[in-house]
Chains A and B, each alone.
Chain A
């Protein structure tokens, strides 16, 4: 069984009374839980949340599976999401995705040795600054291949010094 941290329990308790119905708290609580569990959500997490919120796990699963921002498996420390929708595509988004995938070798489990995962994603609302990528919560815009590689290398380095 997954143990929900005290901090997250406090968060959940607050969210549950924040909206008109308890159900609305599912999305915010899943986000918080995901942070607690190194960036992804396991079945165990759902069971624990279901018990703590006193909401049937089928209701939580319905939400969990519908939304793409809830990760179904580990995405490492850095989830690199490259937009490959139309405006980014016209400005080299797909190339960027390929270059990054080559540069940072992803292993069979979907994560690289440096703990990166790389995904293609749909439009992130940053089309005027294409190509772009999102790493965890942050946008990096007006990228070139070199710039993107440097950003990621710096992130990896910053983790090592921490």
Chain B
């Protein structure tokens, strides 16, 4: 069963507008938050255990408390760049519930003492941008944004900024470079953006879903928020399910929900006659799970980590037995090679090699040494670069090859009879 908290009113067309949003309790949590002390809100977010929903899963309240106590202007940036293949949850929220995001942002801005925020939205989301722009305008007209918000003495200004087509701008320091009007190249951390971010000012970057969840914490309180999910992974999470399921889409379930139930109950399972082969559980950068692992894993940060993968952005890509893992890996390597910003040698050169090798394995022109080389190159790309894109390219390679080794070797040995057999689910186990 879905637990609809963030998505509760998605089905109501009027929810997009301020009037419609207000009909369902909209902006009441902002009113409540403005009567609290900013530090109390940060503490609540910490206690609620809200972890970042954009990919890295860092505890939001803890990040906020890294802000230095100086009198520099603090900025809040909503990361709405949503580029991780398989992910489409932020887009739906902006399209159907833009005020949910804006209310969460004003509350968060109040908590961290920020007079100015930006929503950095990916360039291709023209429709969503129009919807959010309209919602910001309505908020200004009703003194929910601007000076002296609802006579509280707190002032906050919000603007939207459109990206122009670069996955790397989803990485928070790349995003900040882009917002500053430069190419979107990530910067070495530390300093972290909380200390030195946008124009060298203290800056908090959070994902759309993270910021919208802050409103829920204000409404339900720490205990209420923790009613859903597990002790270590509290709350609900939006999962974008795509690939080979009957009913793809966004589903909201408590963290800790079995992946098997998402696929086979909520999403209607696979097509007639198909078997589960693999699942990428957290966006294309997350290590792949084989069918057996997928059938037993629960969707929370800890259980996925125990299976060697991660929750990432919450994008579940379901792969049935009609697919070739070699082919899918090549598709992903094409992506990472295209999106590497080129600053770090292991990433720039490495993604090129990964693409070249996976391509030659796929076309049957490679041998077993090339499969070994593919793994070797990937293992040299981890933890050596400015940002995590290099790791994100290496993870799929290492997990695809180790879990579906027979398939990779069959492509690499010219034994045509051994080549990928669509009906066979790989049973190769890790370790």
Residues of A within 8 A of B (CB): 18-28, 30-31, 59, 62-63, 65-70, 84-87, 89-91, 122-130, 134, 137-139
Please tell me if B20 contacts chain A, counting CB pairs below 8 Å: no
**Neighbouring A residues of B199 by C-beta, 8 Å:** 20-21
Q: How far is the CA of A122 from the CA of B123 in the complex (A)?
A: 13
Contact of A68 among B165, B242, B284, B319 (CB under 8 A): B165
**Neighbouring B residues of A91 by C-beta, 8 Å:** 243-244
**Neighbouring A residues of B163 by C-beta, 8 Å:** 27, 67
CB distance from B97 to the nearest CB of A (A): 16
Contact of A128 among B198, B241, B323 (CB under 8 A): B241
CB distance from A154 to the nearest CB of B (A): 19
Residues of B within 8 A of A (CB): 82-88, 90-91, 122-127, 159, 161-167, 178-184, 198-199, 240-244, 248-250, 280, 284, 315, 317, 319, 323, 327-328, 331-332, 335, 338-339
**Neighbouring A residues of B122 by C-beta, 8 Å:** 125
In contact, A86 and B331 (Cβ under 8 angstroms)? yes
In contact, B328 and A27 (Cβ under 8 angstroms)? no
Contact of B88 among A22, A25, A30, A128 (CB under 8 A): A128
In contact, A122 and B181 (Cβ under 8 angstroms)? no
In contact, A127 and B86 (Cβ under 8 angstroms)? yes
User: Assuming the A-B contacts A27-B178, A122-B338, are A128 and B248 also in contact, with contact meaning beta carbons closer than 8 angstroms in the complex?
Assistant: yes
CB distance from B388 to the nearest CB of A (A): 17
- Kindly list 10 other residue pairs between chains A and B, CB separation below 8 angstroms, not including A23-B182, A63-B164, A122-B338: A19-B161, A25-B181, A28-B161, A62-B182, A123-B284, A126-B91, A127-B88, A130-B248, A134-B124, A137-B126
Contact of B124 among A26, A63, A69 (CB under 8 A): A69
User: Assuming the A-B contacts A67-B123, A137-B126, are A125 and B87 also in contact, with contact meaning beta carbons closer than 8 angstroms in the complex?
Assistant: yes
In contact, B161 and A24 (Cβ under 8 angstroms)? yes
In contact, B162 and A125 (Cβ under 8 angstroms)? no
CB distance from A25 to the nearest CB of B (A): 7
Q: How far is the CA of A134 from the CA of B335 in the complex (A)?
A: 18
Lowest 6 A-B CB distances belong to which pairs? A23-B181, A67-B164, A68-B165, A69-B165, A66-B183, A127-B242
In contact, B83 and A125 (Cβ under 8 angstroms)? yes
Q: How far is the CA of A68 from the CA of B319 in the complex (A)?
A: 29
**Neighbouring B residues of A28 by C-beta, 8 Å:** 161-162
In contact, A24 and B323 (Cβ under 8 angstroms)? no
Q: How far is the CA of A66 from the CA of B167 in the complex (A)?
A: 11
From A22, A24, A123, A139, name the one whose CB has the most chain B CB atoms within 10 angstroms.
A123
In contact, A123 and B83 (Cβ under 8 angstroms)? yes
CB distance from B288 to the nearest CB of A (A): 11
In contact, B87 and A21 (Cβ under 8 angstroms)? no
In contact, A123 and B86 (Cβ under 8 angstroms)? yes
User: Assuming the A-B contacts A86-B243, A128-B240, A128-B241, are A62 and B183 also in contact, with contact meaning beta carbons closer than 8 angstroms in the complex?
Assistant: yes
10 contacts between A and B (CB under 8 A): A62-B182, A62-B183, A69-B164, A85-B335, A87-B248, A124-B124, A125-B83, A125-B88, A125-B91, A128-B242
In contact, A123 and B323 (Cβ under 8 angstroms)? no
Q: How far is the CA of A89 from the CA of B88 in the complex (A)?
A: 16
**Neighbouring A residues of B179 by C-beta, 8 Å:** 24
**Neighbouring B residues of A134 by C-beta, 8 Å:** 124
Closest to B128 in A: A125
Q: How far is the CA of A134 from the CA of B122 in the complex (A)?
A: 14
Q: How far is the CA of A51 from the CA of B178 in the complex (A)?
A: 22
Q: How far is the CA of A22 from the CA of B159 in the complex (A)?
A: 15
In contact, B243 and A122 (Cβ under 8 angstroms)? no
From A24, A62, A70, A130, name the one whose CB has the most chain B CB atoms within 10 angstroms.
A24
In contact, B165 and A87 (Cβ under 8 angstroms)? no
Closest to A126 in B: B88
Q: How far is the CA of A27 from the CA of B181 in the complex (A)?
A: 7
CB distance from A23 to the nearest CB of B (A): 3
**Neighbouring A residues of B242 by C-beta, 8 Å:** 87, 127-128, 130
**Neighbouring A residues of B250 by C-beta, 8 Å:** 128
From B86, B90, B127, B338, name the one whose CB has the most chain A CB atoms within 10 angstroms.
B86
Contact of B164 among A25, A30, A129, A130 (CB under 8 A): A30
Q: How far is the CA of A71 from the CA of B223 in the complex (A)?
A: 51
CB distance from B198 to the nearest CB of A (A): 8
Closest to A65 in B: B183
Closest to B75 in A: A20
In contact, A127 and B248 (Cβ under 8 angstroms)? yes
From B91, B125, B159, B182, name the one whose CB has the most chain A CB atoms within 10 angstroms.
B182
**Neighbouring B residues of A122 by C-beta, 8 Å:** 83, 85, 167, 335, 338-339
CB distance from A151 to the nearest CB of B (A): 16
Q: How far is the CA of A128 from the CA of B266 in the complex (A)?
A: 14
CB distance from A64 to the nearest CB of B (A): 9
Q: How far is the CA of A70 from the CA of B315 in the complex (A)?
A: 28
**Neighbouring B residues of A62 by C-beta, 8 Å:** 182-183
Q: How far is the CA of A152 from the CA of B248 in the complex (A)?
A: 25
CB distance from B257 to the nearest CB of A (A): 18
Q: How far is the CA of A79 from the CA of B163 in the complex (A)?
A: 18
Q: How far is the CA of A145 from the CA of B342 in the complex (A)?
A: 36
In contact, B317 and A87 (Cβ under 8 angstroms)? yes
